[in-house]
Amino acid sequence: DQQVKQNSPSLSVQEGRISILNCDYTNSMFDYFLWYKKYPAEGPTFLISISSIKDKNEDGRFTVFLNKSAKHLSLHIVPSQPGDSAVYFCAAGGGADGLTFGKGTHLIIQP
């Protein structure tokens, strides 16, 4: 049973527009959430996180929104830049076994 779901394997967005990546989770024990970014041939790197006591966290062009009642979070990138093209992993912590990752969404920023 997949506890963290990223239902869009890929997403294509024009440069300068907003990119919205979505993530759903099922385990109500998760109490914080992270987004990782991964370029080809590199390991994932931490991007932004949010605790369950908040509904929004912002860091520059990146904002993460958390809707606990819907068990849904999203990552907004605005404006999108070519260097944002990467695979984005949603991860959740607070369950029994460290972090649980989604399958990832491949974001493609088109010029």
Could you list the residues that contact other proteins (CB under 8 A)? 6, 9, 29, 31-32, 34, 36, 41-46, 49-51, 53, 89, 93-99, 101-104
Q: What is the helix (H) or strand (E) element at residue 19, kind and residue range?
A: strand 19-25
Residue 15 Cβ vs other proteins, minimum distance, rounded to whole Å: 27
**Cα distance between residue 87 and residue 84, in whole Å:** 9
Q: Which is nearer to other proteins, 71 or 79 (CB)?
A: 71
CB of 6 to other proteins, least distance (A): 8
Give SS3 for 1: coil
* Cβ–Cβ < 8 Å for 70, 53: no
Taking the complex as a whole, the smallest distance from the CB of residue 16 to other proteins amounts, in Å, to: 29
